[in-house]
Amino acid sequence: MPHRRLKKSEPVFSITTLPDLGIDIKDIEDDFKRYYGHRLGRDENCRSVHYVYEALSMVIRDRLTERWKKTYIACKKQDCKKAYYLSMEFLMGRTLSNAMLNLGVDDVVSQAMYDLGLDIEELIDAEPDAGLGNGGLGRLAACFIDSCATLQLPVTGYGLRYEYGMFSQTIVNGEQVEEPDHWLRNGNVWEIERLEYKQRIKFGGHTERHIDKEGITRVSWVDTHDILAVPFDTAIPGYQNGTVNTLRLWKATATEEFDLQEFNAGDYAESVAAKNTAENITMVLYPNDANENGKALRLQQQYLLASASLQDVLEVWVGRHGNDFSNFAAKNCFQLNDTHPSIAVAELMRLLLDNHELSWDDAWTITRNTMAYTNHTLLPEALERWSVDLFKQLLPRLMEIIFEINARFLAEVSAHWPGDKARIARMSLIEEGDQQHVRMAYLAIVGSYSVNGVAELHSKLLQQGLFHDFYQLWPEKFNNKTNGVTPRRWLAACNPELAELITETIGDGWLTDLSLLKKLEIYVDDKAFCKRWYEVQQAAKQKLIDYKKQELGVDLNVNALFDVQVKRIHEYKRQLLNVLHVIHLYDRIKRGDTANWTDRCVLIGGKAAPGYHMAKKIIKLINNVSHVINHDPEVGNKLKLVFLPNYRVSAMEKICPGADLSEQISTAGKEASGTGNMKFMMNGALTIGTLDGANIEIREEVGDDNFFLFGLTEDQVENLRDHYNPAAIISQDEDLQRVINLLESGHFNQFEPGLFDGVIDSMKSPHDPWVTIADFRSFVDAQKRVEAAFQDKDRWTKMSIINCANSGKFSTDRTIAEYNNELWKLTPVHVAK
């Protein structure tokens, strides 16, 4: 055992007496040289930018670690309530530039690197993204922990340390090809492995009952195949406030005795293979946002996260309070990021009942007062269900506990609605049928004191639709927390020129109180300010153009309207509606209808789940249309369509400062919130959007005149369902007819006959859930209003300023303050800077 605890010897030193590390240019340069030369063993002849990046990162990381310890000590001293954000995904992106900004050393470090003949931008770009998430839900978790640290709230993020993150996307012959993302290949200087805090996780086996001394039935879960969860910690710095919180990610490894058993049986190879099986659990992030589910490995991942994190928290609790849990719920709370970690409800019950010998009622009271659940999607196909058979096999004790929770819950339902059999079947945690399934969302609702949606409309629809029965039973549990994004990464770091202009104009308070951006509004009539705003926007566009020229070899025109849609490829997000509009513009050029034309570059990017065939076809269609348009000399600069490959956090950091128009065009009622919409708005882009998710609140903030609204409302979409007739709509709209004809004639797939039949048929079907055809005319008209506004540069600039000025609500600082004031009730912990 290499990690035995110190027994006889006790340390006679304390690291708190260390002198603080300096942050002057000289300190940074000296430390950098020491790491580069002595630690990494490199010199000026080494041409690899990676080692330079690594040496600088170690310099920054040391300064984080210093503050990290101080935060830890301050929290411990106060014995305050803590919250834990449980999430299968933390889409962190890059760390270096954010760490420098939050430490307040970005200028000094840039200068130090410059003095050494190094370009800080190049070093920042050398870092691989930590792509440990699919999209919105994972990036939200990353923005949340940034805001928690900035608000000095004692919140720890718990997640999984996937060896392979979100796949890397390349486009071959117009099609998506997935490549594994081995992001840890060159090591990760930001993490600290903490073997001393490993946890044991059980799988398989069976349960046994016995009566203890007090005559109480106790359950043991035995003959299990255990694995170990080892934590890797990353520092999460607040914005220039001395606070550094923790993101703790678990890695699965084999237990020592598992190896020994095999060794004793004489099978060396088997034992090494067993190690591999264990490590497989955290090998790869599942790249499916929303569909395809039910894989045993995914359930193992979820349980590992829940069990390791809860045991970690309970270990600290027992270390301080022994087996006295009377205050546990007052001092701890767990926020569940969707249902993915919701097995934590049953696992906390198990640990309290079986390991700490609490009564069912006491354990249940604690559980219900510590868990809170956030829902991120209304799509029924995305609701998690696990087969009872699989559950019994992998987690027999947890299945028993879920059955018991369900029996007691259904008794409550019966008491509330006597004789209402249909309601009991609807509300049961177990879905009956050919095969029984556990409904994870219901487990999360029943086991939590709070259920929230992520935008006003979404929360309302949860209450009126998906979770209506539960809302009737416990209306007080339901609430809304509109999403946000962190303004440090999504404005200050990614758009330093705009940030600088803002700070020069209104001071730097906006970095921690984004509502102050409102002060910009009085400058919309200031000619000099508007001119600078315009110039900064043009420079940001030029930077994006240069970057894309280098990456893709495409030439884009800085005076064209940059029309951007980047997000996961999904039918409900309606990239197809965007493509229909592009084809319509192409058709107008071809028929010479170009009076008063506005040049436009349409940029579309995003990944499709590898098994989502329709989404992959949509990518292929975008690329084929792009090929035809961009190679047509008649089109020239009037119109470009570019697919941006491998969309990810670091790509968005380059894209959002250069966008004029943000496409938020989902079918109303389907996008829970959206967060890309907020990033674009903050950077001064205008939105064309439906009344969906947070778009509604964005429009409320900027006013109707500064938002390009189109499309059916959620009610109208629902009312359309039984009499939707896309064929009739097409026949009555000449423009649309021409677009469909172009598609059907094979104009974009001349050498690939029939390739897009499935895509075209889906839009033409009266059963198309996304009613793309129904919104075409209204979308085209809204795009015309966009063009009119864009042609008037002064008007557009004013609208851009107004959008940025009114983006204050969409800071995660506001979102987290609401979570804290209404749900967590933590006291900020101030740390001496």
Residue 811 in the binding site for ligand 376 (CB under 6 A): no
Q: How far is the CB of 675 from ligand 376 (least distance, A)?
A: 5
CA-to-CA separations, 651 to 280, 381, 383, in angstroms, rounded: 29, 29, 29
454 lines the binding site for ligand 376 (CB under 6 A):
yes
Among 447, 657, 689, 693, contact with ligand 376 (rule: CB under 6 A): 693
- Residue number with the shortest CB distance to ligand 376? 136
Binding string, 180-209, against ligand 376, x = CB under 6 A? Answer: ------------------------------
Joined together, the tokens standing for residue 311 give: 């045991």
C-alpha 651 chain-centroid distance: 15
Q: Which of 59, 140, 395, 511 binds ligand 376 (CB under 6 A)?
A: 140
Instruction: Indicate whether 569 belongs to the interface with ligand 376 (CB under 6 A).
Output: no
Q: Which of 147, 311, 483, 512 binds ligand 376 (CB under 6 A)?
A: 483
**Phi, psi angles (nearest 5°) of residue 73:** -65, -40
Q: Does 137 bind ligand 376 (CB under 6 A)?
A: yes
Q: Which is nearer to ligand 376, 441 or 502 (CB)?
A: 441
Helices 96-103 and 136-150 pack at an angle, to 10 degrees, of 20
How far is the C-alpha of 664 from the C-alpha of 294, rounded, in Å? 31
Catalytic residue among 255, 370, 675, 797: 675
331 catalytically annotated: no
Short-list 562, 558, 497, CA closest to 532: 497
* 202 is a catalytic site residue: no
65 burial level (CB within 10 Å; 0-12, 13-18, 19+): middle
Q: Using CB under 6 A, which of the segments 341-349, 584-592, 667-675, 785-793 binds ligand 376?
A: 667-675
Of 67, 161, 376, 809, catalytic? 376
According to the binding rule CB under 6 A, does residue 672 interact with ligand 376?
yes
Which ranges of 281-331 does DSSP label H, i.e. alpha helix? 296-321, 328-331
Over the window 284 to 313, marking each residue x when it contacts ligand 376 by CB under 6 A and - when it does not, the resulting string is ----xxx-----------------------
> b/e per residue, 560-574, with b = 16+ CB within 10 A?
bbbbbbbbbbbbbbb
Rule CB under 6 A: is residue 606 a binding residue for ligand 376? no
In the numeric block, the tokens 């059916």 are attached to 712
Q: Applying CB under 6 A, which part among 431-439, 623-631, 666-674, 772-780 lies near ligand 376?
A: 666-674
Comparison of 382 and 720: residue with beta carbon closer to ligand 376 = 382
Burial 316-344 (b: 16+ CB within 10 A, else e): ebeeeeeeebeebbebbbbbbbbbbbbbb
Residue 134, interface with ligand 376 (CB under 6 A)? yes
Catalytic residue among 568, 617, 648, 809: 568
* Residue ranges in 56-115 that form contacts with ligand 376 under rule CB under 6 A: none
- Residue 69 vs 814, nearer CB to ligand 376: 814
807 touching ligand 376, by CB under 6 A: no
Q: What are the helix (H) ranges across 752-829? A: 757-764, 776-791, 793-805, 812-818
798 is catalytic: no
Is 382 a binding residue for ligand 376 by CB under 6 A? The answer is yes
Candidates 82, 161, 350, 376; binder of ligand 376 (CB under 6 A) is 376
Note if 567 is an active site residue: yes
Asked whether the beta carbons of 656 and 681 are under 8 A apart, the reply is no
| Active site (annotated) includes residue 295 | no
- Beta bridge partners of residue 155, listed in sequence order: 83
Among 271, 309, 646, 675, contact with ligand 376 (rule: CB under 6 A) = 675
Q: Which residue, 140, 58, 50, is CA-closest to 92?
A: 140
- DSSP string of 66-110? HHHHHHHHHHHHHT--EEEEE-S-EEEE--HHHHHHHHT-HHHHH
Write down the residue that tokens 């259920």 correspond to. Answer: 451
Copy the structure tokens of residue 288. Answer: 């499916």
Tokens of 251: 């890695």
Please pick, among 397, 573, 581, 648, the residue that the annotation labels catalytic. 573
Instruction: Tell me the closest approach of the beta carbon of residue 364 to ligand 376, in angstroms.
Output: 27
Tell me which residues in 46-65 interact with ligand 376 (CB under 6 A): none
The contact set with ligand 376 (CB under 6 A) reads 134-137, 140, 288-290, 338, 376-377, 382, 454, 483, 671-675, 693
Active site residues: 376, 567-568, 573, 675, 679
